[in-house]
Amino acid sequence: MSAPGQPSIPQHVAIIMDGNGRWARQRGLPRLEGHRRGVESVRTALNAARELGIRYITLYAFSVENWKRPQEEVSGLMGLLELYLKRELSTFVRDEVRFHAIGRTADLPAGVCRLLRETEEATRHFTHWHFTLALNYGARTEVVDAARAYALAVRAGRANPAETGWDEFSRYLYTADLPDPDLLIRTSGELRISNFLLLQLAYAEMVFSPTLWPDFTKADLQAAVDEYGRRERRYGLTSEQVRPGPP
Ligand code: FPP
């Protein structure tokens, strides 16, 4: 029951992909096998998003905290990422999907870093579909990086604190090119935000799915979108204001 004038399909869906490790453990497999299957779900989610008409999809693939995982898992994840980017570039170009990476990406392994830049560059001219991976991402780190960039802009005379509101400041976030997410999905039944897009999710609707990420299908995305369509987004207004009745 979206409010009149509110689209029932979210423009931007952000997903915390969780449950790869549990998926693997349930099958007696190494954790990396769960991540490998998780990559298949990334492909599924991206295709499903386009089929449903969701223009922006953002996936939390590696947090600033994930470096503390066992070394073998971290290097395995970096290997999967490298392989994924190499394989997927032609698909992004074929499907006219613009690829973005957000986070402290310069601190990722040099090979991954180079592939990220190449993929962003090769898809820069596409405008309709947007696929973003959050890598070495943390919302608090993002705020610190934005504050540093803003301070430098003030010092250089390119920004004026007296005239800086949210619209001006948000241009210093990693997500400057992206609209705020309308819908956040977290898989695996966990009810946390885990330092993901804390500022950008200010007015997002949230759906927590019990499905483990490697089992995530188009039906799971559709179910979350259907739930989104039943929500009333009020942005601080009253229900009567967003849903005016007959005079
Ligand atoms: C959370 O599951 C998942 C991650 C920390 C990594 C997500 C990575 C992928 C889906 C694969 C790599 C992605 C790309 C785009 C190549 P978890 O390991 O915390 O699961 P658990 O809570 O069940 O242990």
Q: Give the global pTM.
A: 0.96
Helix H or strand E encompassing 136 = strand 129-137
Give domain limits for the chain. Answer: 12-136+180-231
Predicted local distance difference test score (pLDDT) of residue 4: 59
Q: Which string of b and e fits 208-232 if b means at least 16 CB within 10 Å?
A: bbebbbbbbeeebbeebbebbbebe
C-alpha 167/C-alpha 193 separation (Å) is: 23
Helix H or strand E encompassing 132 = strand 129-137
Q: How far is CA 243 from CA 5, 203, 238, in A?
A: 10, 17, 9
Count of C-beta atoms within a 10 Å radius of residue 16? 23
What lies within 8 Å, CB to CB, of 54 at 6+ separation is: 9, 10, 11, 12, 13, 225
Tokens of 194: 């885990």
C-alpha 81/C-alpha 137 separation (Å) is: 15
C-alpha 33/C-alpha 38 separation (Å) is: 8
Nearest atom of ligand 1 to the alpha carbon of 41: 10
Q: What is the pLDDT of residues 6-28, one digit of tens each?
A: 779 999 999 999 999 999 999 99
Active site members: 18, 66
Nearest atom of ligand 1 to the alpha carbon of 60: 7
What lies within 8 Å, CB to CB, of 169 at 6+ separation is: 146, 150
Q: With a 6 A CB cut-off, is 66 part of the ligand 1 pocket?
A: yes
Tokens of 115: 């592939």
Predicted local distance difference test score (pLDDT) of residue 5: 62
The total number of residues shown for the chain amounts to: 247
Predicted local distance difference test score (pLDDT) of residue 3: 60
C-alpha atoms less than 13 angstroms from C-alpha of 76 in its C-beta half-sphere: 15
Residue to probe by mutation, ligand 1, list 15, 20, 105, most atoms within 8 Å of CB: 20
CATH pick for 12-136+180-231 out of 3.30.2000.10, 3.40.190.10, 3.30.1490.20, 3.40.1180.10: 3.40.1180.10
C-alpha 18/C-alpha 131 separation (Å) is: 18
> pLDDT below 50 — which residues of the chain?
none
